[in-house]
Amino acid sequence: MKLNIQNETSRLRAVILGTAKSNGPIPGIEEAYDPKSAEHILAGSYPKEDDMIIEMEAVARVFEKYDVTVYRPEIINDYNQIFTRDIAFVIENKFIKANILPDRDREYEAIKYVIQKIDEEDVIVLPPECHVEGGDVMLWNDYIFIGTYSGEDYSDYITARTNMDAVIEIQELFPHKTVKSFELRKSNTNAKENALHLDCCFQPVGTDKAILHKNGFLVEKEYKWLLNFFGKENVFEITKEEMYHMNSNVFSISENVVISERNFTRLNTWLRDKGFTVEEVPYAEIAKQEGLLRCSTLPLIRD
């Protein structure tokens, strides 16, 4: 398999879509990886496996409609395998294993059958000190945008997933690209003040547009850089409430087709007004784990 990912929106040909099958029991509060999951565990509203399976199959049907080759992880009993974006990502023709929370390594093993289709020299394992998850890594042609947190209290945040060691390593691996990092706002306890990954507060769509949430960025000038880069007239600004519901975490099948959650009324209207085809799916249950459409997909090949 020859991988090719240059940006977030070129026509998709192959993808790994996570699975909610055999998702396991509701985790204890001490097992929550993020504040939003914790919130739903405490409220008794944590998503049910059957509901999440229905949502993910709706996405699989959209991929089928657009003739996209879809791989799914091998099922591990009683194990959360929804968010494939966390465990690996593709830059150009390289498949990069993410250094994620150690107790999630089994998720990587479950997609080994796909990795074996890739030339060995194109599979990269980063040094152990490089912490990174795919939700923080965003390709945009000559740029690689990376969400990070470099505060001295990094280790205090379960929500800080990508460090500067990883940013530096990726720049060294791809010297011809401009790597630009963005400091994200982190909270272990308040989901509305937490940008778990860069794609929780920013995502490009089409060829020149973007979805953006100002408060997700710790440094205002970094947010302004993105605003200027895309142009204010091309940016859809989402509110704190919309960020909480993961409005920036849509997924592009092509430069003019976007999969979005059906309740994102304001965003979906804007996208259609800008000429996009919006494939609406139910994904509100998945969203309760602070992840949405981009989080549960790992693109392998785009045009």
Mean pLDDT for 183-201 is 81
Please give the mean pLDDT across all residues of the chain.
Answer: 92
**What is the share, in percent, of the chain residues with pLDDT greater than 70?**
95
**What is the share, in percent, of the chain residues with pLDDT greater than 90?**
76
Mean pLDDT for 225-248 is 96
Which of 139-143, 158-162, 169-173, 281-285 is the least confident region? Answer: 158-162
Mean pLDDT for 262-272 is 98
Q: What is the pTM of this model?
A: 0.94
Q: Which residues contact 180 (CB under 8 A, 6 or more apart)?
A: 143, 144, 145, 146, 225
Which of 138-152, 163-177, 202-216 is the least confident region? Answer: 138-152
pLDDT score for 188: 66
Residue 156: band (very low, low, confident or very high) from pLDDT cuts 50, 70, 90:
low
Residue 161: band (very low, low, confident or very high) from pLDDT cuts 50, 70, 90:
confident
**CA 116 to the chain's CA centroid:** 23
pLDDT in tens, 120-152: 999 999 998 999 989 999 999 999 999 998 777
Residue 178: band (very low, low, confident or very high) from pLDDT cuts 50, 70, 90:
very high
pLDDT score for 24: 82
**How many residues in the chain?**
303
> Distance between the two ends of the chain, CA-based, in angstroms?
14
- Enter the tokens of residue 221: 């000038």
Higher-confidence position of 232 and 32: 232
Question: Beta-strand (E) ranges in the chain?
Answer: 12-17, 69-71, 88-91, 94-97, 123-125, 137-140, 143-148, 178-183, 202-205, 209-212, 235-237, 251-254, 257-261, 277-281, 297-302
Q: CA–CA distance from 85 to each of 43, 138, 154, 178, 218 (Å)?
A: 27, 11, 21, 22, 23
For residue 16, give the DSSP letter. E
pLDDT score for 160: 62
Closest of 287, 66, 291 to residue 197, by C-alpha: 291
Mean pLDDT for 56-60 is 98
Q: CA–CA distance from 263 to each of 55, 110, 116, 260, 267 (Å)?
A: 13, 32, 38, 9, 9
Residue 274 pLDDT more than 90?
yes
- Enter the tokens of residue 204: 């490009």
Neighbours of 91 (CB within 10 A): 18
